[in-house]
Amino acid sequence: MADKSFTFEITSEISEPGGDRLGRSGVISTPHGEIKTPAFIPVGTKATVKSVLPESMKELGAQALLANAYHLYLQPGSDILDEAGGLSKFMNWDKPTFTDSGGFQVMSLGVGFKKVIAMDADTFRADDVIADKKERLAHVDDEGVTFKSHLDGSMHRFTPEVSMRVQHQIGADIIFAFDECTTLHNTRRYQEKSLERTRLWALRCLAEHQALTQSRIGKPYQALFGVLQGAQYEDLRRKAAKDLGTMENSGIEFDGFGIGGALDKSTLGTIVKWVNEELPRNKPRHLLGIGEPSDLFVGVENGADTFDCVAPSREARTSAVYTNTGRFNVSNGAFKRDFTPIEEGCGCYTCQNYTKAYLNHLFRGKEILAATLATIHNEYFIIKLVDDMRKAIDKQEFFEFKKDFLGRYQAGRSQNA
DSSP state of 220: P
Q: Which is nearer to Zn ion, 202 or 351 (CB)?
A: 351
Taking CB under 5 A as the criterion, the residue among 65, 263, 346, 373 binding Zn ion is 346
Q: Which residues of 29-63 are buried (b: 16+ CB within 10 A; e: fewer)?
A: bbbbebbbbbbbbbbbbebebbbbebebbeebbbb
User: Contact, 173 vs 98, CB < 8 A?
Assistant: yes
| Piece in contact with Zn ion (CB under 5 A), picked from 12-20, 293-301, 341-349, 357-365 | 341-349
* Minimum distance, C-beta of residue 234 to Zn ion, in the bound complex (Å): 40
Question: How many Cβ atoms are within 10 Å of 83's Cβ, its own excluded?
Answer: 11
Say how far apart CA 19 and CA 23 lie, in whole Å.
Answer: 12
| Cis geometry, peptide bond prior to residue 38 (ω within 30 degrees of 0) | yes
Nearest distance from residue 60's CB to Zn ion, in Å? Answer: 9
SS (H, E, C) 398-417: HHHHHHHHHHHHHHHHHHHC
Task: Report the C-alpha gap between 97 and 405 in whole angstroms.
Answer: 29
Q: Which is nearer to Zn ion, 233 or 409 (CB)?
A: 409
Please name the amino acid found at residue 74: L
**Cβ count within 10 A of residue 151:** 9
CB of 341 to Zn ion, least distance (A): 6
Is residue 295 part of the annotated active site? The answer reads: no
User: According to CB under 5 A, which one of 165, 204, 286, 377 is a site residue for Zn ion?
Assistant: 377
Q: How far is the CB of 322 from Zn ion (least distance, A)?
A: 9
The residue from 127, 173, 243, 308 that is catalytic is 308
Residues 57-116 binding Zn ion (CB under 5 A) are: none
* 100 catalytic per annotation: yes
Query: Which of 41, 74, 351, 389 touches Zn ion by CB under 5 A?
Result: 351
d(CA 33, CA 282): 19
**Shortest reach from residue 380's CB to Zn ion, in Å:** 6
Contact between 330 and Zn ion (CB under 5 A)?
Answer: no
Nearer to Zn ion, 81 or 370 (CB): 370
Name which of 257 and 409 has its Cβ closer to Zn ion.
409
The single-letter code of the amino acid at 207 is A
For 90: left if phi > 0, alpha if psi spans -120 to 50, otherwise beta; the answer is alpha
DSSP 213: H
CB of 353 to Zn ion, least distance (A): 10
The least distance separating Zn ion from the CB of residue 348, rounded to whole angstroms, comes to 3
DSSP 25: E
Q: Between residues 209 and 377, which has the closer beta carbon with respect to Zn ion?
A: 377
CA angle, 353 then 65 then 370, to 5°: 30
CB nearer to Zn ion: give 373 or 392.
373
The secondary element (H helix, E strand) that includes residue 155 is strand 155-158
* CA dist., res. 67 & res. 49, Å (int): 9
308 SS3 class: strand
Q: How many residues bind Zn ion (CB under 5 A)?
A: 4
Candidate list 109, 130, 298, 348; residue touching Zn ion; CB under 5 A: 348
- Tell me which of 82, 100, 179, 255 is the catalytic residue: 100
Instruction: Pick the piece of the chain touching Zn ion (CB under 5 A) from 26-34, 35-43, 149-157, 349-357.
Output: 349-357
Residues that bind Zn ion (CB under 5 A): 346, 348, 351, 377
Kindly list the catalytic residues.
100, 308
